[in-house]
Every structure is written in structure tokens, then in C-alpha cells.
């Protein structure tokens, strides 16, 4: 049986992510210490809440080094805030360094559409995602058809520096916002695969095959 | 995309359905219905503890834990949630959002406290609206039995200012009547707030959903029409899609869209 390691640093509820992985038939190990992260075969990094607070917790638990080390060669999936924390820096409330696994910054979602109408933030709901600069074949989204929908809840987004890292985007009032990132074995999704029905479970299954 | 949300009202571990939120009839085991609607492609589920306010607490924790093992869409839970701690307990079971009514009426500060703790997107204000002779709507609690004296339009404005991220707007007059939503209510409320409004109460046929969306609803709650199998989630979805309303594509729901 495959094994996946879920990083628990006290930011948000892991239960739903854990259930989704269990549902597709893998053993889920909850990691609270560096040693467990070092031994991971597949690492999942969820996150709910605010960027600075989540980074502080990682620091308090002394997990930053272990995560960065493991990310050198372990398949890694950041979810929502977890994906945002993979970047260099967060701009939520205050400038906070991230894990620096993917070049880019985390910024507040635009509050107006391209033609100036007010947008609702936090952004919450189902969106169709599409490929931007990177094809999906053999990526995290390999099994996702053009007709799709994923569930999002967030107020910030990943502004990635290299467009080749941007695996998917969704339309937010005319703005193309990062929906998923990938560089080799480093992956992240802004949406919640654990809340996106069968389509989300497909992303989870696919991650385990990488 | 417009969300289709099966609403499951629950009393003592039974799925129930009433008319105007009263005269409740038992229908079956809620977790089975939840799973069925998830498999049909519901975009979200709504669990309401119909008797929670009698006991002052929500009794759905076991049901939520059971549901999230096999249902992978957002779940909103309401009924008897009185404090930040109550909400936390519900969220820890796997719920994504909590709906509050009575406690918010009694102490509106709770809305802000919950929004600050869990984020606005987590806080759903539940409104039970009854139309008055003068054309206004007043907000009620306890399944439309308890009068609050609050004008619905003023109350939603205040609640959103305090941090409510979404409005569950139930028309007690229309509820269980199968004659469609109170469209005027939906229109008035969604025009005064920027947050999503879930129209609830009265869906008799799929096209009632179209009317609710055209009146400004971001989501439609459906109960009786699904519980009594007068229609299905994909059936309703198709009717909305044919009208040009943006909904999750059916292809993305069945078998993940690959078949």
C-alpha cells in the first residue's frame, strides 16, 4: 500500500485532506516532526489560515529545514495556503518569507474586474481551470478534461515568477489567477482537491503516481 | 458558477421535511441521502439541525464525521451553534462552514468573532424570512416560530458588515410549498449585499431554480424536490445549463469526466 505523509503544523484542519487520501486507498501518516518528514515517500502540505501565522508555526516546530530538504527529491503537493507557502514570499498583512521552493510572491486577489467592477473577496466557489503556459500531459493534471470544475476558497493568490511553473489558471473577473503550479516533482493547487468531488480525487490519485 | 445545494433538515438523526418548516415528516437516514446527492453531483451540502435550538446545541457531529468519509464537497452545518467554540467543534468534524441564526440575532458580535477566527467565507448567516402585510420581511428563528423584530433587509446589511460571508435566505412562507422561491425576497436581499445569497424554500421544479438565479441568487438550496425524487441534481443542472446559467459541467461530475 502506498504511503503519504501529511504535514501537521497546527494550521487548519487536516481531517478532510486525510479522508480524501484514505478514500483513494493510501495509508496516511501525520507528520509533526522533522524525522517523519525526512522519511516521507509523498509529502502533502495543506494549509488554512494566514500566511505569516502558518510560517511562524512551521518555524516554532522547527520544520522548515526538513521540508526544504525533503522537497529536493520527494513528490510534494501544497494545497491552498500550503501551495502559497511554497513560494518565496507572502504579502498577507506583512511581508513574510515562504519556503522558497518555487519563485514568486503571494499577493492579495484583485478586488476589481478588468473593467473595474467590484469583485467579492474571499473568492469562494467552483471554477473551471485551464492550461496556461504548460501542457497538462504527464503533469499533476494529466487526467483532467477541459470541461472541469474545482472548489476554491481564498483571498490571496500565487504570482509565480516563471510562467512555466504555472500549470493552470482560472478566470477571476478577467484576471488569470494561478490555480495550480508544478515544477517537476513540486506541485501545488490553489483549489481544494479534497472538496472538489471526483475531479479532486483524480488529482489526488494522480499525485500518488508521480 | 451557480451552486446546487441539497438541504437536509435533520431531527434526532432522521432526515425530515416539513411545510413552512413545521409538521415534520421523517424521510430516511441523512448520511445515505447525502451520499446519494454527492454522487449525483451536488456542489455543496447543507445540514440543518431542526431541533437544535430546543436543546441549545447541535447534535450533528457524528453525522458530519460519517459523511466526510465518503463525501468530498463542501458541507455547511447549521442549528444550535451559539459560540466560536461550538463552531470550532463543528468545523473539526469536517464541516467547511457554519450557519448561524438565533445566536447571531441574540448577540450580533458573534458574527465578527467567528469571521475573525475562521474567515468570512466560513460564516453563513441563516435567515428565516416571513413576509408581512406591509410588504416587508421580518426575520424569525426556531423554524419560523420566534419573532425577532428584525427587518430582513436591515439585518442582512448589518450582518455582512460584521463579517457574514454568505446568506442562507429561507422564505418560511414558500418553504415546502413547491410553488417556487420568494423571488422578490431574493431580489431585494441580493441587491443590498455583495456576498453570495443561497435561495431556500419552495423549489417545486427545476425552472424555479432559473428564476431564483435570475433574481440574484448565487446558489439554490433544494430539499423536497430531491428527497421525494421529483427531480435529480443532474436533471436540475441540465435545465439551468440549457438556460445558459453557468454551472459545473456535468462531464466534470460523472466518473471525473473521462468516460
The runs of H, that is alpha helices, within A98-155 are: none
Q: How far is Cα A180 from Cα A188, in angstroms, rounded to an integer?
A: 6
Minimum distance, in Å, between the CA of residue A147 and any CA atom of chain B: 6
**What is the C-alpha separation between B163 and B180, in angstroms, rounded?**
29
pLDDT at B210: 98
Known catalytic residue at B62: no
Beta bridge partners of A30: A6
List the beta strands (DSSP E) in chain A. Answer: 3-7, 27-31, 43-45, 76-79, 87-90, 96-97, 102-108, 123-127, 129-131, 150-154, 156-160, 166-172, 175-183, 186-189
Average confidence score pLDDT of chain A = 94
Where does the pLDDT of residue B146 fall: very low under 50, low under 70, confident under 90, or very high at 90 and above?
A: very high
At residue B30, the pLDDT reads 95
Contact flag B94-A194 (C-beta cutoff 8 Å): no
Please give the CATH superfamily to which domain B3-257 belongs: Aldolase class I (3.20.20.70)
A116 vs B: CB within 8 A: no
Q: Give percent above pLDDT 90 in chain B.
A: 82
Asked whether residue B258 carries a pLDDT value surpassing 50, the answer given is no
Provide the pLDDT for residue B52.
Answer: 78
Tell me which residue range forms the domain holding A20.
3-209
What is the tally of structural domains in chain A? 1
| SS3 assignment, position B168 | strand
Question: Residues A36-51: pLDDT tens digits?
Answer: 999 999 999 998 778 8
- Contact across the interface for B94 and A23, Cβ inside 8 Å: no
Residue A134 banded pLDDT, cuts 50, 70, 90: confident
* Among B43, B70, B258, beta carbon nearest to A126: B43
Diameter of chain A by CA atoms? 52
Catalytic positions of A? 80, 192, 194
At A64-116, the pLDDT tens digits run 999 999 999 999 999 999 999 999 999 887 899 999 999 999 999 999 999 99
**What CATH number did the domain enclosing A178 receive?**
3.40.50.880
In this prediction the ipTM stands at: 0.92
pLDDT at B54 over 80: no
According to the model, what pLDDT value does residue B256 have? 41
Average pLDDT value over all residues in chain B: 93
What are the pLDDT digits (tens) for B217-245?
999 999 999 999 999 999 999 999 999 99
What tens digit of pLDDT does each residue of B165-206 get? 999 999 999 998 999 999 999 999 999 998 999 999 999 999
Q: Is B9 a catalytic residue?
A: yes
Residues in chain B: 259
* The predicted structure's pLDDT at residue B259: 33
Amino acid at each position: 500500500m502506498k504511503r503519504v505523509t501529511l504535514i501537521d503544523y497546527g494550521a487548519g484542519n487536516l481531517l478532510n485532506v486525510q479522508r480524501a487520501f484514505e478514500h483513494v486507498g493510501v495509508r496516511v501518516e501525520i507528520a509533526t516532526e522533522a524525522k517523519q518528514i525526512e522519511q516521507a515517500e509523498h509529502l502533502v502540505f495543506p494549509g488554512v489560515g494566514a500566511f505569516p501565522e502558518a510560517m511562524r508555526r512551521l518555524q516554532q516546530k522547527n520544520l522548515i529545514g526538513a521540508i526544504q530538504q525533503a522537497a529536493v527529491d520527494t513528490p510534494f503537493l501544497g494545497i491552498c495556503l500550503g501551495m502559497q507557502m511554497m513560494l518565496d514570499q507572502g504579502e498577507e498583512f506583512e511581508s513574510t518569507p515562504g519556503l522558497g521552493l518555487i519563485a514568486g510572491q503571494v499577493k492579495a486577489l484583485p478586488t476589481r474586474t478588468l473593467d473595474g467592477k467590484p469583485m467579492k473577496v474571499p473568492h469562494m466557489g467552483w471554477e473551471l481551470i485551464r492550461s496556461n503556459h504548460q501542457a497538462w500531459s504527464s503533469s499533476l493534471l494529466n487526467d483532467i478534461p477541459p470541461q472541469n470544475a474545482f472548489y476554491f476558497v481564498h483571498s490571496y493568490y500565487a504570482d509565480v515568477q516563471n510562467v512555466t511553473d504555472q500549470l493552470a489558471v482560472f478566470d477571476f473577473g478577467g484576471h488569470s489567477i494561478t490555480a495550480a503550479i508544478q515544477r517537476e516533482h513540486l506541485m501545488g493547487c490553489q483549489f481544494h482537491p479534497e472538496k472538489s468531488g471526483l475531479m479532486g480525487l483524480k488529482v489526488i490519485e494522480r499525485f500518488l503516481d508521480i | 458558477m451557480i451552486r446546487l445545494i441539497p438541504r437536509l433538515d435533520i431531527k434526532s438523526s432522521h432526515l425530515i421535511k416539513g411545510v413552512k418548516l413545521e409538521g415534520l415528516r421523517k424521510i430516511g437516514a441523512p448520511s445515505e441521502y447525502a451520499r446519494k446527492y454527492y454522487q449525483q453531483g451536488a456542489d455543496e451540502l447543507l445540514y440543518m439541525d431542526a431541533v437544535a435550538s430546543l436543546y441549545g446545541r447541535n447534535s450533528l457531529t457524528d453525522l458530519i464525521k460519517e459523511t466526510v468519509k465518503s463525501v468530498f464537497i463542501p458541507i455547511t452545518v447549521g442549528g444550535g451553534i451559539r459560540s466560536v467554540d461550538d463552531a470550532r467543534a463543528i468545523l473539526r468534524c469536517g464541516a467547511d462552514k457554519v450557519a448561524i441564526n438565533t445566536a447571531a440575532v441574540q448577540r450580533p458580535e458573534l458574527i465578527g468573532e467567528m469571521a475573525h477566527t475562521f474567515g468570512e467565507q466560513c460564516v453563513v448567516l441563516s435567515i428565516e424570512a416571513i413576509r408581512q402585510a406591509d410588504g416587508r420581511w421580518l426575520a424569525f428563528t426556531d423554524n419560523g416560530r420566534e419573532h425577532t423584530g428584525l427587518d430582513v433587509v436591515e439585518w442582512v446589511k448589518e450582518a455582512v458588515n460584521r463579517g457574514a460571508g454568505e446568506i442562507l435566505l429561507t422564505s418560511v412562507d414558500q418553504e415546502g410549498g413547491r410553488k417556487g422561491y420568494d423571488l422578490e425576497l431574493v431580489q431585494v436581499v441580493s441587491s443590498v449585499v455583495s456576498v453570495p445569497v443561497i435561495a431556500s424554500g419552495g423549489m417545486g421544479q427545476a425552472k424555479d431554480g432559473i428564476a431564483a438565479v435570475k433574481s440574484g441568487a448565487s446558489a439554490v438550496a433544494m430539499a423536497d424536490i430531491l428527497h421525494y425524487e421529483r427531480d435529480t441534481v443532474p436533471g436540475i443542472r441540465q435545465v439551468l445549463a440549457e438556460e445558459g446559467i453557468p454551472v459545473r459541467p456535468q462531464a466534470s461530475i460523472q466518473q471525473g469526466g473521462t468516460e
